[in-house]
Structure 1
Amino acid sequence: MHFLAYYDGDDFCGFTYTVENEDMVFVLYLAVNDEIRSKGYGTAILTDLKARASGRGVALNIEPLDPHAANSEQRVRRLDFYRRNGFFSTDYNLIDGGDRYLILCTKEDFPVEDYIRVIKRISFGLHVPNVERVK
């Protein structure tokens, strides 16, 4: 697991918290300082994260689009942001505690087995994630 904080000089910009194995980097959290959003820092953080991945796929989960959700516009903006930054929608969802999340990855040919292995690493192999293929 890696926790990285990003700064522009002395100014805190954001952070990433990832779990990694030899095949994939999974982003548990990516946050950008609210005071400097929409100024390119999120893109810069993702660019650095993908460079650090050294050719491995980078995957993450986001809430699905839902026009009835209270944060519907935020969900659309988040998906658009990740797509602009080289992430693809996969044909898979993560089901966690009854909630469904879209799985995005930088590899168009999403390696679901690599994703499952890296997610299992979070729990030291004790928890197998519930991943379903979208029909």
Structure 2
Amino acid sequence: MLQYFDVTRDAPWFPQVKALYESAFPANERIPIKHLLDDKIEREFWAFFDKEEGASGSVEDAATPMFCGFSNSISHGDITNIVYFAVEPELRCRGYGSQILQAIREKHPNSRIVVDIEVEEDSKDAEELERRNRRREFYTRNGFDASPVDYVWQGEHYRLLSAGGTVTEKEFRDFWKEILKDIPGAKYP
């Protein structure tokens, strides 16, 4: 069973979260991690741990829960946008990603949950296309459907997926306008 804790600069797991963030997302898809920690935007930045398995990955070492991944999301009104979400590479395909999504849904039972994925058609090679297809299939298995929203942010073309109801392009843009309204120079999708 997963448990989660807030990510702060002082948290003992911050180095693990930072390392996973930097390895899971290309530079053009990241914002400086300090912005994920500041309070200009109210975010849920969680580190997830398996308390049944220990840091070594064994049940015998369960006294030290195993770091599994993190999520970073923003909520406003009835929309929760999962901005960043990653599972440790060696733990993928073991159900942790689905459990993390379930924890977010439980926290926001009346929200439409949205995530964005890189558009498959834009992939430059077969390996990248395979990664994008696996990512889309993962979200589909977890109840996400394609929405009518595509956008470009920092040079990457994204498609929005949603669970719990569709989010229109206007709702998505209004969501980001509201979130970023007090941050000078911030660009929204």
> What letter is aligned with 2:188?
P
Is 2:156 the counterpart of 1:114?
A: no
Match in the other structure for 2:30: none
Work out the number of aligned pairs and report it. Answer: 130
Once the two structures are TM-superposed, the CA of residue 108 in structure 1 deviates from its matched residue by 4.0
Match in the other structure for 1:8: 50
Match in the other structure for 2:146: 89
71-80 or 57-66, larger mean C-alpha shift = 57-66
Structure 1 residues 111 and 67 mapped into 2: Cα distance closer, same or farther (>3 Å)? closer
> What letter is aligned with 2:182?
F
Match in the other structure for 2:131: 74
User: Percent identity over the alignment?
Assistant: 26
98-107 or 77-86, larger mean C-alpha shift = 98-107
Is 2:160 the counterpart of 1:103?
A: yes
Structure 1 residues 37 and 22 mapped into 2: Cα distance closer, same or farther (>3 Å)? same
For structure 1, the 5+ residue unaligned runs are 131-135
Query: How many angstroms apart in 1 are the aligned matches of 2:141 and 2:173?
Result: 25
Once the two structures are TM-superposed, the CA of residue 125 in structure 1 deviates from its matched residue by 6.1
Q: Deviations over 1:1-21 (max 9, x none)?
A: 110111001100111001111
> What letter is aligned with 2:98?
T
Query: How many angstroms apart in 2 are the aligned matches of 1:82 and 1:89?
Result: 10
Q: Deviations over 1:42-82 (max 9, x none)?
A: 00111111111121001111101137523110000000000
> What letter is aligned with 2:96?
Y
Query: How many angstroms apart in 2 are the aligned matches of 1:118 and 1:91?
Result: 15
> What letter is aligned with 1:12?
F
RMSD of the TM alignment (CA)? 2.0
Match in the other structure for 1:43: 98
Q: Structure 1 length as normaliser, TM-score?
A: 0.84
Rg comparison, structure with higher value: 2
Which of the pair is proportionally richer in strand?
A: 1
Q: Structure 2 length as normaliser, TM-score?
A: 0.62
Tell me the secondary structure at the aligned position of residue 66 of structure 1. helix
Structure 1 residues 125 and 57 mapped into 2: Cα distance closer, same or farther (>3 Å)? farther
111-120 or 58-67, larger mean C-alpha shift = 111-120
Query: How many angstroms apart in 2 are the aligned matches of 1:51 and 1:60?
Result: 16
